[in-house]
Amino acid sequence: MNRLQQKYQEKAAPQIMAELGVKNKMAVPRPEKLAVSTSFYEKERQDEAIKQAGEWMSLITGQKPAVTRAKKSIAAFNLREGAVIGLRVTLRGTRMWDFLDKLISVVFPQVKDFRGVSRSGFDGRGNYTIGLVEQIIFPELSYDSAGKIRGLQVTICCKPNRNEKAVRLMLEKLGVPFKKE
């Protein structure tokens, strides 16, 4: 069992149950999956960019990314239907807990001038999205292997779909550092 998962089951879940006044442990919010995605579009060297981004994404997540394609053409952006515009990975189970633990305990402390993650990343359905400006803050990557600096998004999907307050409380108990109000 992962260190963060053990912390959730032994300490965080009972504290959340007490604070929310919930008697059933299945009603306590818990991470269900993590969706990690990056998007880009380059007119030249698109195949090389996809290969390079796929390599660093599989290094940081431990799973091969899936390709996302444009659903329709947009002339203003020189984008054609079916063109590759990004990569995504969905993590569940042990890989999800490992990635979340690495994100909280290793990656966030490496961000320069880090004051916490935004409190406005909630979507109202129990999901929280964190935007990272550069991928090189992950310890598996070096400046040489990362290629071009690209951003990525990490969405933490929680179950059951509760209100924002319950999910924020769960994330705080796991150790996600939010900005001070």
Instruction: Domain ranges for the chain, please list them.
Output: 3-174
Give per-residue pLDDT as tens, 94-135: 999 999 999 998 888 888 788 888 888 888 888 999 998 888
4 pLDDT band, cuts 50/70/90, is: very high
Tell me the pTM: 0.88
pLDDT at 137 over 90: no
Architecture label for domain 3-174: 2-Layer Sandwich (3.30)
Residue % of the chain over a pLDDT of 70: 97
Question: Lowest-confidence range among 2-6, 42-46, 53-57, 87-91?
Answer: 42-46
Q: How far apart are CA 68 and CA 70, in angstroms?
A: 7
What per-residue confidence (pLDDT) applies to 111? 80
Question: What are 34-65's pLDDT values in tens digits?
Answer: 999 998 877 677 788 888 888 889 989 999 99
- In this predicted structure, the answer to whether residue 146 has a pLDDT above a threshold of 90 is no
